[in-house]
Amino acid sequence: MSDEHAHDNPLVMDHFFNPRNVGDIPGADGVGEVGAVACGDVMRISIKVRDGRIAEARFRTFGCGTSIAASSVTTESINGRTVAAALKFSNAAVSAALGGLPPAKSHCPVLAEEAVKAAVADYLLKPPTPAGA
């Protein structure tokens, strides 16, 4: 989908040209990969959890500029949050962090919310690592 609105938004442009936390986390505690039916964009978010908080978050996104900006700002937003708080992470928070997005780009922040929740669910569903492993 076209990203014509992104050019008017300096926050989207900044996160698109200087994305934060790009990549995968080796040995991640949770990974969430989701796709947007509307446009075919795919977003993967990996997290490391320490003492019940997200200690690191990284992303890989194949999609529009706004979805890349949404991924970038999302990894910044969830860093340091408790797992419980990350489960309440909302697409509205992503939109707000990017200064508001037009309706045509509404599924970009939704993708980010779903990726975060999928990563946290993956973490929560994994069996605990045995002590000393």
Name which of 74 and 123 has its Cβ closer to ligand FES: 74
Angle at 58 between CA 121 and CA 124, to 5 degrees: 15
Q: Does the annotation count 64 as an active-site position?
A: no
Angle at 24 between CA 38 and CA 91, to 5 degrees: 40
Report the alpha-carbon distance of residue 100 to residue 65 in Å, rounded: 15
Let me know if 108 is a catalytic residue. Answer: yes
How far is Cα 117 from Cα 84, in angstroms, rounded to an integer? 10
Q: Which helix (H) or strand (E) holds 31?
A: strand 30-35
Site string for ligand FES, 18-57 (x = CB under 6 A): ------------------x-xx-x----------------
1 binds ligand FES, rule: CB under 6 A: yes
Q: Decide whether 36 or 54 has the Cβ nearer to ligand FES.
A: 36
Specify whether the CB–CB gap between 58 and 78 falls below 8 A.
no
Q: Please report whether residue 111 would count as binding ligand FES according to CB under 6 A.
A: yes
Interface of this chain with ligand FES, residues 48 to 107, rule: CB under 6 A: 63-64, 66-67, 105, 107
Which regions of the chain does DSSP assign to beta strands (E)?
30-35, 42-50, 53-62
Query: Does 114 help bind ligand FES (rule: CB under 6 A)?
Result: no
Contacting residues toward ligand FES, per CB under 6 A: 1, 36, 38-39, 41, 63-64, 66-67, 105, 107-108, 111
